[in-house]
């Protein structure tokens, strides 16, 4: 089983099992991870599932698409490894992925 770790803004870490093919956002909601709101339900239309991918995972998760970059303009405190978690699909290669959630989404 693939694992994803979410670290919240206060530093608390939560590791959960993730289904291959589901998104990092869906996995967070399914496991009641705080700090991810996903107002639009995964349509890449709201920027309330913003996460910082841990630098060592940035290459594996890849870069944000053009549409995702546009939507990241609506997020706060955007950093080089910022992504929208609804746009990251869990895959075997991402087993152990670590993301941090920002202090404020909406």
Binding site for other proteins (CB under 8 A): 39-41, 43, 45-48, 69-70, 72-78, 103-104, 106
Query: What is the closest distance, in whole angstroms, from the C-beta atom of residue 4 to other proteins in the complex?
Result: 24
DSSP H or E stretch at residue 59: helix 58-61
Tokens 């995702």 -> residue: 68
CB closer to other proteins, 21 vs 106 = 106
CB closer to other proteins, 33 vs 75 = 75
For residue 28, give the nearest of 13, 41, 16 by alpha carbon.
16
Looking at the chain, how many residues does it have?
106
CB closer to other proteins, 17 vs 39 = 39
CA dist 43 → 15, 29, 48, 80 (Å): 25, 15, 11, 22
Query: What is the closest distance, in whole angstroms, from the C-beta atom of residue 51 to other proteins in the complex?
Result: 16
Query: What is the closest distance, in whole angstroms, from the C-beta atom of residue 94 to other proteins in the complex?
Result: 25
Other C-beta atoms lying within 10 Å of the C-beta of residue 104: 13
CB closer to other proteins, 73 vs 92 = 73
């Amino acid at each position: 089983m693939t694992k994803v770790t979410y670290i919240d803004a206060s530093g608390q870490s939560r590791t959960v099992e993730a289904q291959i093919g589901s998104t990092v956002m869906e996995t967070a909601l399914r496991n009641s991870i705080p700090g991810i709101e996903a107002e639009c339900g995964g349509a890449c239309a709201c920027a309330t599932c913003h996460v910082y991918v841990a630098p060592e995972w940035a290459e594996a998760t890849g870069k944000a698409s053009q549409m995702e970059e546009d939507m990241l303009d609506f997020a706060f405190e955007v950093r080089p490894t910022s992504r929208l978690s609804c746009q990251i699909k869990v895959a075997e290669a991402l087993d152990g992925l670590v993301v941090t959630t920002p202090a404020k989404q909406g």
